[in-house]
Structure formats: C-alpha cells, structure tokens
Homo-oligomer: A and B are copies of this chain.
Amino acid sequence: MFEALSGPPISDHKWLTALLDAEKALAAALAKAGVIPPEAAAEIARHCDPEGFDAAEMGRLAVRSGNPVVPLARQLTAQVPGDAARYVHFGATSQDIMDTAVVLVAKNTVASVLADVDAAADACARLAGEHRDTVMIGRTLMQHALPTTFGLKCAGWLVALDEAAANLRAVRLEAQLGGAVGTLSVFGDADVPALFAAELGLAEPRIPWHTNRTRLAELAAALGVLAGVFGKIALDVTLLAQTEVAEVAESSGGGSSTMPHKQNPVRSVLITAAVKRVPGLVSTMLAAMPQEHERAAGGWHAEWETLGSLLSLLGGAAARLKDLLRGLRVDRERMRANIDMTGGLVMAEAVVTRLAPLIGRVEAGDLVAEIAGSGQPFRAALLADPRITLSEEDIDGALDPAGYLGAAAEFVDRALRR
C-alpha cells in the first residue's frame, strides 16, 4: 500500500530476472572461455526465463541455505535437459550470482534515478534562468537576512544535483565471480570474470570481492548524498510554501480529509519522508562492511533489502522531484513583497556598506545597528539622523534590494554553464 508513496520496490520479478541473467551470463562467459560447450550455454540461456520460476517458492526454499541462489540453481539445473544441466552455475558460488544480481538491479535503477535527476536538474536550470533576476529575501537561521534571487536559490539546487549525480555516476558497478572462496577453484581461469562482466555490461573487478564491499558501500553512500540534496530542495519548497510565506506552490497540492481549503505540498512531503529514511539505511550498509573471511555470516544477507530500499526510495523521490520542479509555481510579487516585511531593516548591511567609507566600518556598523534597533521606521530614522551623512538618494539606493545582489546573477550564469 505504501509503495506508491515511497517508491517502486525492487520487485521479485526484477530480482529473478537479474539472478537468471547472471546465470545465463556465467554460462556464456564460460563458453567463450572454452570451459564449457557453447551448446550447453545456449541451452542454459533458453531456460533462464523468470516466467519459469516462482520467486515466493525460491524465497521459502532459501531459508535452508540462507540465500535464494541455492534453490534457484537447483531448479534451473533440473529444468535444463541433457548434458547441459551439468554446466548450470558451473564453478560459481551462490554469492557470485547474488552479488552480480544486486549490481544488475542497482545498475538499472540507478540509470532510471539519474535520468530523473538530470530532468530535475534541467528544470532547476530553467527556473534559475527564468528567475535570474527575481529578487527575494535570503533567509539565514530562518530569519530574513539580505536579498538574493530565486535564480540563485535554484542555481544552488542545480549545482547540488549535478554534483551528487556525478558522484553516483562515478560508482563502479562490478560483476562478481570467484567461486566458493574466491579462487575460481573449479575452472581456475582468471579471465572468465572479465568475460562474465562484459556479458552483463558491468565493470570487471580486479579480483573477487566477496568480502570487500567497497563498491556497494560507495553506491549506498552516493545514493545517500543524492537523497540529502533531494531533501534540501524539498525542505526549501516546504518552507517557501508555508501559508505565511507563500512564495512558491506545487503545481497541484494535496487535499486534506478535513480541511477543504488546504493545498499541501505533497510532493515535498513525500520526498522529505523518503529522504529521512535514507541515512539509517546507508549506515546499515556501512556497518555491514566488515565481513568475515571469504564469505560473511550475515553481512551480505543484510545488504539485499537495505540496498533495495535505498534504490526504491531514491527512485520514488527522484521521479517526484522532477515532477515537483517542472511544475513549481513561483510568485514573484509575493517574493518582492516579503522583503519589505521588516521595513527595510534587511537592507541595513547595504546602508553600512555605503556609510563605511565615510565614517569607518565599525562606526557605521554600530550606528546603523543603533538606528535599526530603535523601533522607528528604518528609512525615516535614517533620514532623520544627522550622523547618517548619506543623501536621500544614497539611502534609497541602499534600501533597494535589487541594488544589493552582489554576484548573484554571475553565480547563476556560472551554475548554468554546466
């Protein structure tokens, strides 16, 4: 019931397909290496069809060995006719197939996540361009600070998405093939793993990695960093969509069961919910890294559903983020109006900056702070105070948010030069 909310799960069908793809590729690689007859590989390939297997049954049978590859290989062997049967799962250990399947599943899901992230980044880029000069208040520690632009905010989202996506893209997804203890004892040919990897479009490992979980941990970590970026964007949208702020809104809000007038930022909420679940899952993947000897007693078993959840959550959140950013409604007028909420006090630094050359920076800072804290309307108080040796024009210039944006536009341009 919750899958539609959190993210598309790695279905049993996907798992079965990946496991059988690994068995098929193993046979093909062994045939290419001359270890087994090509006909056997062809026969095996014909039977590596997920339709012929019952995932739930595999799961139940897996309880005896601790992983589903044992019953899967047994059934596949039973289904393959004649001599070819003896070459099913030849020289492999369960973990070879399981790890490779994990990597295949990851590869496919990551590709889809990255496609959505790229689309979300494109939407950010479009927003950054459109709002390159849209002035809004910058907020620090949840308080009005100084003016910035909505374009720069979107540029920040864009850069973060690009960085986290590049980080994820850089993870090397390697096939696994080592046999029972990583020596390929049965056939002993160290070149087979490369052939196996090539069959599956995966990277070749330097050596078997049954208890070197670096790549899976890197993958989990990269997903975790990306989730953090999603969370930052969703948090900003949620805050900006608050009734009191109302600077942005999602394209269509979520209804409420009791409050007909409410428009909830549902996409942001669901992204936030997904993102909150990620750090704990990443910590599990890291904590599972110290794995015993040549194959662990629990560590790799802990990874399957954990990584599955990570991939699923990222998949759901990435799609939702793309949708959110594409449809985001931005209220320029409200952004401009909100700046004035403090009666110009947010421009105090700009006044200090103009005043500093005349009376010294520290003195200017103290003086403006005194006036700002007086409770009087800021502009009037500045004009009335004889110590403020600025012209009315200078004061109004200082109080104009659009005139105090520093390098905001240039930063937007740099972010857009991806």
* Contact partners of A410 in chain B: CB under 8 A: 190
* Contact partners of A397 in chain B: CB under 8 A: none
Stretch at the interface among A106-114, A215-223, A325-333, A388-396: A215-223
Task: Mark interface residues in A1-43 (1 if CB within 8 Å of B CB, else 0).
Answer: 1111110000010011000000000000000000000000000
Nearest neighbor of A74 in chain B, beta-carbon distance:
B257
A356 → B minimal CB distance (Å):
7
* Contact partners of A68 in chain B: CB under 8 A: 1-2, 5
B287 touches A140 (CB 8 A): no
A5 touches B63 (CB 8 A): yes
B164 touches A214 (CB 8 A): yes
B238 touches A297 (CB 8 A): yes
- The residue that A225 contacts in the complex, of B137, B286, B293, with Cβ under 8 A, is B286
Which size class do A's interface residues fall under? Answer: 35 or more
A142 → B minimal CB distance (Å):
5
Q: Complex Cα distance A53/B323, Å?
A: 29
B284 touches A280 (CB 8 A): yes
B282 touches A270 (CB 8 A): no
- The residue that A221 contacts in the complex, of B67, B89, B225, B368, with Cβ under 8 A, is B225
B369 touches A261 (CB 8 A): yes
B256 touches A65 (CB 8 A): yes
A251 interface hit (Cβ, 8 Å):
no
Q: Complex Cα distance A321/B152, Å?
A: 35
A273 touches B298 (CB 8 A): yes
Q: Complex Cα distance A368/B256, Å?
A: 14
B266 touches A66 (CB 8 A): yes
* Contact partners of A213 in chain B: CB under 8 A: 228, 232
Copies in the complex: 4
A231 interface hit (Cβ, 8 Å):
yes
- The residue that A279 contacts in the complex, of B146, B262, B283, B361, with Cβ under 8 A, is B283
Give the one of A92, A141, A241, A257 with max B CB within 10 A: A141
Nearest neighbor of A356 in chain B, beta-carbon distance:
B86
A294 touches B1 (CB 8 A): no
A407 touches B184 (CB 8 A): yes
A198 interface hit (Cβ, 8 Å):
no
A380 interface hit (Cβ, 8 Å):
no
A261 touches B148 (CB 8 A): no
A5 touches B59 (CB 8 A): yes
A402 → B minimal CB distance (Å):
12
A214 touches B64 (CB 8 A): no
- The residue that A283 contacts in the complex, of B145, B170, B283, B338, with Cβ under 8 A, is B283
* Contact partners of A144 in chain B: CB under 8 A: 243, 262
Q: Complex Cα distance A298/B305, Å?
A: 22
* Contact partners of A353 in chain B: CB under 8 A: 185-186
A92 → B minimal CB distance (Å):
8
B257 touches A140 (CB 8 A): no
A221 → B minimal CB distance (Å):
3
Give the one of A15, A92, A214, A415 with max B CB within 10 A: A214
B181 touches A261 (CB 8 A): no
Nearest neighbor of A230 in chain B, beta-carbon distance:
B290
* Beyond known contacts A70-B257, A156-B208: 20 more, CB 8 A cutoff: A1-B56, A5-B301, A66-B254, A94-B258, A137-B243, A138-B183, A139-B181, A139-B243, A141-B264, A142-B239, A142-B242, A145-B262, A183-B411, A235-B290, A243-B342, A258-B349, A259-B349, A261-B345, A265-B297, A280-B287
What would 10 A/B residue contacts be, using CB atoms closer than 8 Å? A1-B12, A2-B15, A2-B304, A94-B258, A145-B180, A146-B183, A225-B286, A227-B289, A228-B289, A276-B302
